[in-house]
Amino acid sequence: MEILARRWLQAQQILALAPANFRHVMTICETPQSIFELPKAMHEHLGISSSRRHRLQKQLLAPDHGAVDDTLNSANADVLCMHDDDYPALLKEIHDPPPLLYYRGRRELLSQVLFAVVGSRRPSRMGRADAQAFAGALGQAGFTVVSGLALGVDAAAHMGAIASPASTVAVLGTGVDHCYPRSNAALYQQIGIEGLLLSELPLGSPPLRHQFPRRNRLISGMSLGVLVVEAARHSGSLITARQALEQNREVFAIPGSIHNPASRGCNALIKQGAKLVETLADIVEEFSAWTSVAAAEPAAGKHPGPCLHSQVYDALGYEPLSLDELVQHSGLGVTELLADLSDLEVEGWVEQLHGGWQRCR
C-alpha cells in the first residue's frame, strides 16, 4: 500500500489539481491508473489537462517513483492515502478528509483508538500537570493521545502519553520534517521515534498562521473525543472543540476558577453541553466498549510535608490570593510567608497567577 500512496503523491504533484478536485478523483478512483478510464468530460470538469494526463501516464509506466522516493527517503518520512488500511477510519467521515497524509514514526498507531487532548499554549502549572496526568492515564486506558505539538497543554499531553503503551500522535501545522515550535525539538524527535508525527502538508511546509486551524480539524476528526484542559474564550483549542462538535465527536472539558481567564473557554464549553471532567472515569465511561485496559486515575499530589509549609499551603485555595490576604489567612509575617511561598513554588506546590498565589496540586 505504500507504493500505491507514493503513486498517488506522484499523481498529485503532476496534475496540480485543487484540493477538492484531487480528493474527488481519489474518491472515485482506486488507483492513479483509473484516472485514464474516466470520461473526457470528467477530465475537463476536474481540470485535468491533456498535457498533464500524458505526463502522468508516462510517469506511471516508470519502474520507480523518481523524485517522490528521493524526497521522502531523504526526509525519513512516508505517505499514506485514503485507500490505505491504516488511514484513520473516523477521519474519512469528515467533509474534507485529506487524500494524502505524510508521516514519520509508528504508522500503526493510526489504527488504534485515538483521543485528543488540547488546551492553552500558556496554561497554569496546574493546567500543564492536568494535561500530562490525564494523557498518561488515557494511554494506560488504551487510548492513543492526539494533540498538536504546540507549547503548553499540547506538549504536556504528548509527554504524558508517550510513556504509555498506546503512545501519542502529533498532528502538525507544518511538514513532518519541520519542527515547530523549535523549543519542542527534543519532544518532536522523541515522538518521531516512539510515537507518530503526522501532517497533510507537503514536506518542507513552514509554519503559516492559516494552516493551524486547518490542522485542528484533523486532530478532532481522527479522534473519538476531545478533552479541553484549559482555554481562553478565544483560542485555537475552542476551534478544535467546535470542529469536534460539527464532526459529531464527544467534547469534554475540565472546569476551572471563574477568576482564571484560562478557564473561561472550558467553562463556556460546559455551559454549551460539553461533559464536565473531574476524573478519568468521566471520559472512560463514555467509551467503555473501546478501551482495553482498566482506567487508572491521574496521580494525586501529596500534601507538603514540613509543618510550616502546610500552614501556608492550607491557607491557599485554587484561586489566586494576594499577599495581604495570605498574611491574614495564615497568621504569618510577610518575610516568613514569602520565604515559604518561594520554597513551595520551587517544589511545585504553588504558583503565582494574576498577581496572587494559588495551589497547583
Cβ contact 253:228 at 8 Å: yes
All three cell numbers of 357, joined, read 498565589
CA distance 312 to 305: 12
Query: For the domain with range 307-359, which CATH number is right: 1.10.760.10, 1.50.10.10, 1.10.357.10, 1.10.10.10?
Result: 1.10.10.10
C-alpha grid cell, residue 253: 472539558
In this predicted model, what pLDDT tens digit does every residue of 18-35 receive, in sequence order?
A: 889 999 999 999 999 999
Of 290, 244, 302, residue with least CA distance to 138: 290
Question: Does the domain at residues 107-287 carry the CATH identifier 1.10.1740.10?
Answer: no
* Residue 229, C-alpha cell as written in the block: 484542559
Domains of the chain: which residue ranges? 1-73, 107-287, 307-359
Q: What is the pLDDT along the chain (361 residues), one digit of tens a residue?
A: 568 899 999 999 999 998 899 999 999 999 999 998 888 888 888 888 889 888 888 887 766 667 888 889 999 999 999 999 999 999 999 999 999 999 999 999 999 999 999 999 999 888 999 999 999 999 998 999 999 999 999 999 999 999 898 999 999 999 999 999 999 999 999 999 999 999 999 999 999 999 999 999 999 999 999 999 999 888 889 999 999 999 999 999 999 888 888 899 999 999 999 999 999 999 988 886 655 544 455 554 444 454 556 778 888 877 788 888 888 888 888 778 778 877 787 777 888 877 787 877 6
How many beta carbons lie within 10 A of that of residue 132, not counting itself? 22
Residue partners of 342: CB distance under 8 A and separation at least 6: none
- Quick check: 269 and 286 in contact, CB under 8 A? no
In angstroms, the CA 49 to CA 80 distance is: 26
